Amino acid sequence: MPRTATLTRHTNETKIDLALDLDGRGTADVATGVGFFDHMLTHLAKHGMFDLKVACVGDLHIDAHHTVEDVGICFGKALVQAVGDKAGIRRYGDATVPMDETLVTAAVDLSGRPFLVWKADVPNELLGTFSSQLAEEFWRAVSSAGLMNLHVILHHGRNTHHIIEATFKAVARALRQAVEADPRAAGAIPSTKGVL
């Protein structure tokens, strides 16, 4: 059964069309109008081994906040749709990613309960038109709409670009692990409750 999702979300602030294939090859076709964010979404697809398409027209004349947050909402909802009842998946994933002077760990639980722990003191900087503070907002939206526990820890790092990129790569690799089929699970829900 294909593990895919397609959704559209149109508000007064953003118009988003998003498609996700969890069993893809890591290809990205993204256009949000925010160059650095497109770069990060491309890393998310590549390191998660997801096929990801995102077309977003947002109120960039204000700033990039609504665009980034709303794409996060859509990506989270697409994850929920694509994993379905979560039968046979690993559920948990974690990854530690170095990038030059930076080291980031991400851990994910597709528990059905949204919670974000963000222990990353990201320098307040503008990367193109992307405020570095939006990285946390994106992952908060993903964890909330995606009904997952997400913990992000920056161990050390100075370069803002490296910190945010390592974060996207670490979460992508943790998600890749969490949604992966567990050959020992025999299609069972990975919870003693019998439901997630």
Report pTM. Answer: 0.98
Report if residue 186 sits inside a domain: no
CATH number for the domain spanning 81: value is: 3.30.230.40
Report if residue 133 sits inside a domain: yes
Does the pLDDT of residue 91 top 90, yes or no?
yes
pLDDT tens string 136-150: 999 999 999 999 999
pLDDT tens string 157-177: 999 999 999 999 999 999 999
Average pLDDT, the chain: 97
What pLDDT does residue 27 have?
A: 98
Give the pLDDT band (50/70/90) at residue 15: very high
Does the pLDDT of residue 186 top 90, yes or no?
no
The residue segments making up the domain with residue 164 are 4-179
Q: What mean pLDDT do residues 3-10 have?
A: 98
* Number of domains comprising the chain: 1
What pLDDT does residue 1 have?
A: 80
Report if residue 35 sits inside a domain: yes
Report if residue 124 sits inside a domain: yes
- What's CA 93's distance to the chain center, in Å? 13
Report if residue 192 sits inside a domain: no
Report if residue 76 sits inside a domain: yes
Give the pLDDT band (50/70/90) at residue 178: very high
Pick the closest to residue 167 from 137, 139, 126, 147 (CA basis): 139
Report if residue 145 sits inside a domain: yes
Report if residue 193 sits inside a domain: no
Lowest mean pLDDT among 32-41, 64-73, 133-142, 187-196: 187-196
For residues 80 and 149, give the distance between their C-alpha atoms in angstroms, rounded to a whole number.
13
> How many C-beta neighbours within 10 Å does residue 6 have?
13
Residues in contact with 82: Cβ distance below 8 Å, sequence separation at least 6, in sequence order: 3, 4, 5, 20, 21, 22, 179
